[in-house]
A and B are shown apart, each in its own frame.
Chain A
């Protein structure tokens, strides 16, 4: 056990593993690049859609169920199913990039969509009605009342999606993409267990970093009003009676 840990640590610290196209920085960069693109694409689809169905409360059942259905298909199965199509579109990137990207986008859409929808839906109806009564247009209601109030929930969904995407990017190595999954897949194939575990630790580390980063973003994006209201309420509750 101890020996194994020392092997992994020495693999991680070996200077040769920190340079070149198969080095940790290059692989981490590939990992993050793919993850960022997938997350961005998912955001472009899921946030507007989630806000729209949250605000109008139309088509919510259909959208949420479709999203969950997409999520029920394992990511690796999505990759293999997408492969013949993507290969016929583009032989080069259709092998190494598109299948894993599609799998990651589908994975990320679900929590973002569900949270965007729920966040807007759960905004206090009295506030929305008050805004309407003051003459706000529907677009103003959404942008100036519902969105700021829903932000913590929406970013929470993005945070979940980001962590899942970073963890799933490792699958790309099965179809020849780089990323930190390379160390994991190559480690299994070559029976280099120090490489395998180093890959596992690096991917898990990156996922945890992502979680921490997005938790911070979530805190910063939350309207100060909401934060004060919450701490105020907490202070009130904890005051001796």
Chain B
């Protein structure tokens, strides 16, 4: 049975490869990379499968690591495409630039990426976004009557904070807390933990920390019933996702067709989709590629 499946897969891939000649996918494969965490891998897998279904040859380098690694990889041409968060991607190059408006963030990111690695293009972005969120347990929220981040200001010193190691140097984390909310993390009890990871969510759930920086689409929020505090001072930038592609790859293919293919997919990725697919991967432990396939089929992008 397994063998038969492999044969069937091979046959369908062969069929795709033959159809590739007609759609002009080009002969050199596109090297797709992603950051280490599941959402970035999921988006990369979605783009990869759509491209494969339309005759492109894809080489996957998913889960490479954090942005310092993936940014270097795409600038040096070790990968051709990766999904990027508009706000954080922009903030990586210029900490002062990210805003709450995705269109502005895209324009600014494009301006910077045009000068990187011989030119990198930002394609269309998703309506859905994944921002950093400050999150508490329901019991903490009830005890201190917390609904928005400014409610934390008065009680900040009574809580233990789980924050990423870069927070103190990051204007969107430590900077935003200090300037907009008057919370100086240098004076607080802080346990340094990677944001949006499983350990920080478990630490929050088991009361090792009381406030944690998570991602707004992180499945753990729904799973453990955490309360995301409203960013009432609007400090967090728009974090819509967009594929970024090296120009030296785009010149080898029909750029308009290539862009349209991915833009159509991106347009369907709402915040709810990110959450829902995230639960499939991170809570139900399904493989990223299977979750991507199921969603793309449901949306009619692949057969």
Contacts and interface: CB of A to CB of B under 8 A. Distances in A.
B206 A186 contact: no
B208 A92 contact: yes
A87 interface: yes
B203 A87 contact: yes
Contact of B192 (A88, A186, A191): A186
Interface of B: 66, 68, 162, 164-166, 168-170, 191-194, 198-199, 202-203, 206-209
A229 interface: no
A173 B192 contact: yes
Residue from B68, B192, B209 whose CB has the most chain A CB atoms within 10 Å: B192
B194 A174 contact: yes
B94 to A, nearest CB: 13
Contacts of A185: 165, 192
Contacts of B206: 87-88, 91, 94-95
B166 A186 contact: yes
Given A80-B199, A189-B166, A91 B68 contact: no
B208 A95 contact: yes
Nearest to B163: A176
7 contacts: A83-B199, A91-B203, A95-B191, A174-B199, A176-B162, A176-B192, A189-B166
A17 to B, nearest CB: 15
Interface string A82-93: 011001100110
Contact of B165 (A83, A87, A91, A189): A189
A182 B190 CA distance: 13
Report, nearest first, the 4 A-B pairs whose CB atoms are least far apart.
A189-B166, A189-B165, A87-B206, A176-B191
A89 B66 CA distance: 31
Contacts of B68: 188, 191
Given A87-B202, A91-B207, A190-B169, 16 more contacts: A80-B198, A87-B203, A91-B208, A95-B193, A95-B208, A173-B165, A175-B193, A176-B193, A176-B203, A182-B192, A185-B192, A186-B165, A189-B166, A190-B165, A190-B166, A191-B68
Nearest to B195: A189
A211 to B, nearest CB: 29
Residue from B66, B166, B207, B208 whose CB has the most chain A CB atoms within 10 Å: B208
A100 to B, nearest CB: 12
A210 interface: no
Contacts of A174: 194, 199
Contacts of A182: 165, 192
Interface string A61-89: 00000000000000000001001100110
Interface in A105-145: none
A185 B193 CA distance: 10
A164 interface: no
Nearest to A175: B199
B189 to A, nearest CB: 11
B221 to A, nearest CB: 18
Contacts of A192: 169
Nearest to A173: B192
B290 to A, nearest CB: 23
A173 B170 CA distance: 19
Nearest to B167: A189
Contacts of B162: 176
Contact of B202 (A84, A92, A186): A84
A96 interface: yes
Contacts of B203: 87, 91, 95, 176
B6 to A, nearest CB: 29
Nearest to A193: B68
Contacts of A87: 202-203, 206, 208
Interface in A44-60: none
Contacts of B199: 80, 83, 95, 174-175
A83 B199 CA distance: 8
Contacts of B170: 190
Nearest to B170: A190
Nearest to A178: B192
Nearest to A99: B199
Contacts of B166: 186, 189-191
A153 to B, nearest CB: 39
Residue from B68, B162, B199, B202 whose CB has the most chain A CB atoms within 10 Å: B199
Contacts of B207: 91
B202 A83 contact: yes
A91 B203 CA distance: 7
Contacts of A84: 202
Nearest to B205: A87
A94 B208 CA distance: 8
Nearest to B166: A189
Contacts of A190: 165-166, 168-170
Interface in A165-198: 173-176, 182, 185-186, 188-192
